[in-house]
């Protein structure tokens, strides 16, 4: 990134030699992205992050379709996807919200019904950002069977849960979720899928996303992709082992603790949602913050609103129980010492905080 800022700051759309070199670098970064998701026969469009990529996928796909469309979205999507479908509903399209089970799995019969009614777009997240619930992308692909476009929001799953573009038509990713910089993401699209641009202007990114490319951000994303892939195929299993260590340690410290969502070993390797009875999630969050332990109470994009998680409610969890939820996320760099320290502090703090149960 420093080299791009100090030496390679040339506009990759220009034709003089340093600019052509910048263009070649962007091409290399695209190839690395596509290779990471087995995206042969696909194209990668760089965006400002996951939100923009999700907007481009959902609004861009329907924008190229004629007439009123039936479109399907799961009930537990990220706000950037939910808001895009809300916009489609305001435009007069028929939006079908597909429910989920208590473990966060899609209700496949509801999706089948939407497809039978002519759904032309289906959007589901690969890994739920609050509970770690996993999408069975292969099953989704078999069920849709070419009847609709499939968009998978892979922001929370990219490079931590394997993915193959043969299962989807569009796939969203974001740099900061894999330790790259904020403000950079991408949408991977199968060739032949037509999208209506949501940014118009100079026609960069093959006309899909006008605006001079963020070459320093792309450099950071590329470096993060290479570093994560260099960790090897065993990295997700090692990450899962750390998560299970955390869960077991928390259960020892707080036997009353509740797991919200799928069983930890059946979910993504880096996210677990735990409820601490009679202690509000934001209270536990700030108590842990005082010990140098940083967690969230839901989607980080909306956690400041301090409202009960719509994701947990959609899974059938009572609002009064959902209030207790805290989301823990780990990375390949999280150490066992950090996990044990966190669990110890959780036990001590819980014993203190539950004495102040609201009446």
Strands 121-125 and 149-153: parallel
Give me 168's structure tokens.
């989807």
Q: Coil, strand, or helix at residue 326? A: strand
Where do the DSSP E strands lie in the chain? 42-47, 70-74, 94-98, 121-125, 149-153, 170-174, 185-190, 258-260, 271-275, 325-329
Q: What is the DSSP string of 189-205?
A: EETT-----SB-SS-TG
CA–CA distance, 69 with 93 (Å, rounded to integer):
5
Whether residue 301 lies in the annotated active site:
yes
CA–CA distance, 118 with 147 (Å, rounded to integer):
8
DSSP label of 102 = T
List 4, 42, 124, 301, catalytic entry: 301
CA–CA distance, 94 with 212 (Å, rounded to integer):
35
Active site residue ranges: 301
């Amino acid at each position: 990134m420093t080299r791009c800022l100090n030496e390679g700051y040339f506009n990759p759309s220009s034709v003089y030699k340093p600019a052509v070199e910048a263009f070649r670098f962007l091409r290399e970064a695209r190839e690395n992205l596509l290779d990471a998701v087995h995206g042969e026969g696909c194209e990668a469009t760089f965006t400002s992050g996951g939100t923009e990529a999700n907007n481009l996928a959902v609004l861009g796909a329907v924008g190229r379709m004629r007439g009123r469309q039936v479109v399907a979205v799961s009930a537990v999507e990220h706000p950037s996807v939910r808001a895009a479908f809300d916009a489609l509903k305001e435009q007069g399209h028929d939006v079908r919200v597909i429910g989920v089970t208590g473990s966060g799995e899609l209700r496949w019969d509801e999706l089948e019904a939407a497809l039978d009614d002519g759904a032309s777009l289906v959007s589901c997240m690969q890994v739920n950002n609050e509970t770690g619930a996993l999408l069975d992308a292969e099953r989704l692909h078999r069920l849709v069977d070419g009847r609709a476009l499939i968009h998978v929001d892979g922001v929370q799953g990219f490079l931590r849960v394997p993915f193959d573009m043969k299962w989807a038509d569009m796939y969203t990713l974001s740099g900061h979720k894999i330790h790259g910089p904020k403000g950079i993401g991408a949408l991977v699209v199968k060739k032949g899928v037509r999208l209506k641009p949501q940014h118009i202007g100079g026609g960069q990114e093959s006309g899909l996303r006008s605006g001079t490319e963020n070459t320093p951000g792309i450099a950071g994303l590329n470096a993060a992709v290479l570093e994560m892939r260099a960790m090897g195929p065993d990295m997700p299993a090692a990450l899962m082992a750390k998560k299970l260590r955390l869960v077991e340690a928390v259960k020892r410290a707080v036997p009353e603790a509740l797991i919200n969502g799928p069983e930890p070993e059946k979910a993504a390797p880096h996210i677990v949602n735990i409820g601490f009875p009679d202690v509000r999630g934001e209270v536990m969050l700030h108590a842990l913050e005082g010990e140098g332990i940083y967690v969230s109470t839901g989607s980080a994009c909306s956690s400041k609103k301090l409202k009960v998680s719509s994701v947990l409610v959609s899974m059938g969890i009572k609002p009064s129980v959902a209030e207790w939820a805290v989301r823990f996320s780990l990375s390949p760099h999280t150490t066992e010492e950090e996990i044990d320290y966190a669990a110890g502090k959780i036990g001590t703090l819980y014993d203190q905080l539950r004495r102040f149960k609201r009446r």
